[in-house]
Amino acid sequence: MSFLIEIIPRLLQGMYITLQLIVFSMPIGLAIGVAVALGRVYGGVVLSSLAWGYQLLFRGTPLLLQLFVIYYGLPHCGLVLSPFASAITAFSLCSGAYHSEYLRGAVLSIQGGQMEAARALGMGKIQAIRSIILPQMLRRALPGCSNEIVYLIKYSSLAYIVTLVDLTGQGRLIAYETFRFFEVFLIVGLIYLGMVTIANRFLHAVEKKVHIPGL
């Protein structure tokens, strides 16, 4: 028990990094997802192909690889990002690709007639998307996107690759020093489980709050 108390400060240090990573990557990832989904459904040939290519790349390759390429590979092209910026970029891009699939499914599930009706009423394409499609799309994709947000919380544990010592990173350091692997990683795992549970509850509450009957 005293062991637990000893390591808590260091774990909290790590958790601070983890939370920062999640807080920034989540909205950016979601925003990318919305843009890509809309690009695929309503964009012209060029835009939707680009969006499709982005999805292919970021859903078909491991996040670990993406992190390496963004952190160690991009500098060869002249783009140097700080560890934090690299991590946020990688997590957002990866997350965004998954969000975009859920959102795309949601858009497609909205009856096509709605877009036509909106246009018939004189709305521009963008206005129609903003006022009619987007609110429905976000609500319908919420379960899938919530799932992806939970994934994000867990795969933030890869941040050690770009020298950020997050919760898992601190856990590793402690475990390698003390050799008490089972205890350390059990505690670390339970902390993630705690974060995931809180996130799930929160997202569930959001789902209920924004629910529109008949949607």
Q: Where on the chain is the footprint of another protein (CB under 8 A)?
A: 56-57, 59-65, 68-69, 72-73, 75-77, 80, 82-83, 150, 154-155, 157-158, 160-161, 163, 165, 168, 171-173, 175-176, 179, 181-182, 185-186, 188-189, 192-193, 196-197
- Which is nearer to another protein, 53 or 135 (by Cβ)? 53
CA 147, 148, 151: angle at the middle one, nearest 5?
95
- Widest distance between CA atoms in the chain: 69
End-to-end CA distance of the chain: 51
Instruction: Kindly state the smallest distance separating residue 45's Cβ from another protein, in Å.
Output: 22
Instruction: Kindly state the smallest distance separating residue 130's Cβ from another protein, in Å.
Output: 29
34 closest CA partner among 178, 136, 161, 187:
136
Instruction: Kindly state the smallest distance separating residue 112's Cβ from another protein, in Å.
Output: 18
- Which is nearer to another protein, 126 or 198 (by Cβ)? 198
Strand, coil or helix: 81: coil
Can you tell me the distance from the alpha carbon of 19 to that of 24, in angstroms, rounded to the nearest whole number? 9
- Which is nearer to another protein, 76 or 209 (by Cβ)? 76
